[in-house]
Amino acid sequence: MEYCKKINDDPNKLHIAIFPWLAQGHLIPFLQVSTFLAQKGHRVSFISTPKNLRRLPKLIPQSLSHLITFVELPLPRVEGLPDGAESTSELPIDKVPFLKRAYDGLQPGLTRFLEESCHVINWVVHDFASHWLPRVASGLGVKLVFFCIFNATTMSFTGPPSEAVSGYRSRPEDFTVVPTWWGPDLPNGVAFKLYEITSHWDCMDLDVPDLQRFGMVVQGSQLVLTRTCPEFEADSLSLLRTLYQKPVLPIGLLPPSDLISRVGDGDADERWGVLKQWLDRNKGNSVVYIALGTELSLSQDMTHELAHGIEKSGLPFVWVVNDRPMVEGKLGSGIIPSGFETRVSGRGVIWRGWAPQLGILAHPSVGGFLTHCGWSSVIEGLGFGRALILFPGGSSDIGLVARLLHSKGIGLEIPRDDKNGSFSRDSVAESIRRVMVDKEGEPLREKARAMREIFGNVELQNKYLNEFAEFLVRESSSSTESSQ
């Protein structure tokens, strides 16, 4: 604690607590922000549950380890939450509400930490789920930053925080239309399809719905961050500031800090070596990379239809298949159609389990990315200028991301039934071929390649991280002066 006081004696060196939601897609961006703040000499307390924290220290440069402290808060037991589960990646979607209730049970532990540290904590950077944190922080005089890992278009879709808290959109159907506050400069047609929002409904704690949590943390924070940059969506960012009526900063896209050097992490893996040799034998921009994230579970019928579409496209591919529980609660042992791997032998590779995604996307033979539209995956794909075949599903904002990319002409969405999400193998094959090889897809391929100058530009994106760090120091200094 004496060290914390010494750090805080310098008004330009802060102590910042970081408190993300319990999902890999949230933990990693929050850790990236933590690492950047530590590089600036600020002290960081990264707060999460034991199981999640065990995965993170190896991602921190040794030179910064003295400035980043991992603070464990044991996750309370909640009826309905499987034993040992501490992350959304370990759960089927209908069990996620129990994780949110357990997360709410972290309030006493976080409160104690802040009570013991509030004289040295300058800011708490937190996530959407901690709707109770503004009340706690206000009582302790601690300032809050709401860091939303979504882009500005998704955040604008949620609307003014007062309306989000009021629950004015109470049915899934209410989210399938473009908001009334959407101006003519905003992307066309950005709204959920019914099957998407119905799926997300399954992962909400209906006692405190996600939109209500979102609105409460916006209202209670002194600063809001969005994972975007004005070079990509200036109009949405401008609307967001109007809706929130408080400081809103783009934190940048947070691409992997060094896209090319990080891809070497898998070189020691024998499987990656074999895959790289296979990729080396293919022509430039000819291979489709297919990955649907770590949390999307398709039914077996849908997975088989997707497989038949991939096969029918006739193009070389790498398909990452996860062994997550199926929607029906079955394991994925029969997830690939019988005989599929034999029929595509030599033309396609099935990769089971975690894959070196950056290494694959960076390879010059890869030209397209069939993605579930998770924002982090999109950022990685466009960071290498890969054309996108959009296949949204699951929960969160991925349907909105798909509509945004489709409207901007940098991705093509595979047609699906609005109500049940069904699709045909023909539409899969046609979409893949259009994006990858057809003449009419060339404008899309050109736009995707151009996006590399934004999404893969680490120097540009770090500019926004710098502006965020400068804001924290400036506002901390002004608060100190006004209290004297």
Confidence of residue 263 (pLDDT cuts 50, 70, 90): very low
Number of residues that make up the chain: 484
Radius of gyration, CA atoms only, the chain:
22
Query: Would you state the structure tokens that stand for residue 261, as one six-digit string?
Result: 């050097």
Q: Is the Cα torsion angle 48, 228, 297, 198 positive or negative in sign?
A: positive
Confidence of residue 327 (pLDDT cuts 50, 70, 90): very low
Cα(343)–Cα(432) distance, integer angstroms:
19
What global pTM score does this model have? Answer: 0.92
Q: How many Cα atoms sit within 13 Å of 182 on the Cβ side?
A: 16
Give the three-state DSSP class for 413.
strand
Tell me the backbone φ, ψ of residue 439, rounded to 5 degrees.
-60, -40
Type of residue at 392: P
Q: Which residues pair with 169 in a beta bridge?
A: none
Q: Which domains does the chain have, with CATH numbers?
A: 15-254+457-478 (3.40.50.2000), 257-456 (3.40.50.2000)
Give the pLDDT confidence of 30-43 residue by residue, as tens digits: 999 999 999 999 99
Q: What is the pLDDT of residue 206?
A: 76
Q: What is the pLDDT of residue 59?
A: 83
Q: In 206-258, where does DSSP find H-type helix? A: 210-220, 230-244
- Is 60 exceeded by the pLDDT of residue 218? yes
Cα(437)–Cα(232) distance, integer angstroms:
26
Instruction: Find all residues with CB under 8 Å of 282, minimum gap 6, and list them.
Output: 316, 365
- Most confident of the following: 6-20, 228-242, 391-405: 228-242
Confidence of residue 463 (pLDDT cuts 50, 70, 90): very high
Q: What is the pLDDT of residue 269?
A: 66
Give the pLDDT confidence of 384-443 residue by residue, as tens digits: 999 999 999 767 899 999 999 999 999 999 999 999 999 999 999 999 999 999 999 999
Q: What is the pLDDT of residue 265?
A: 46
Average pLDDT score, the chain: 89
Type of residue at 270: E
- Is 60 exceeded by the pLDDT of residue 261? no
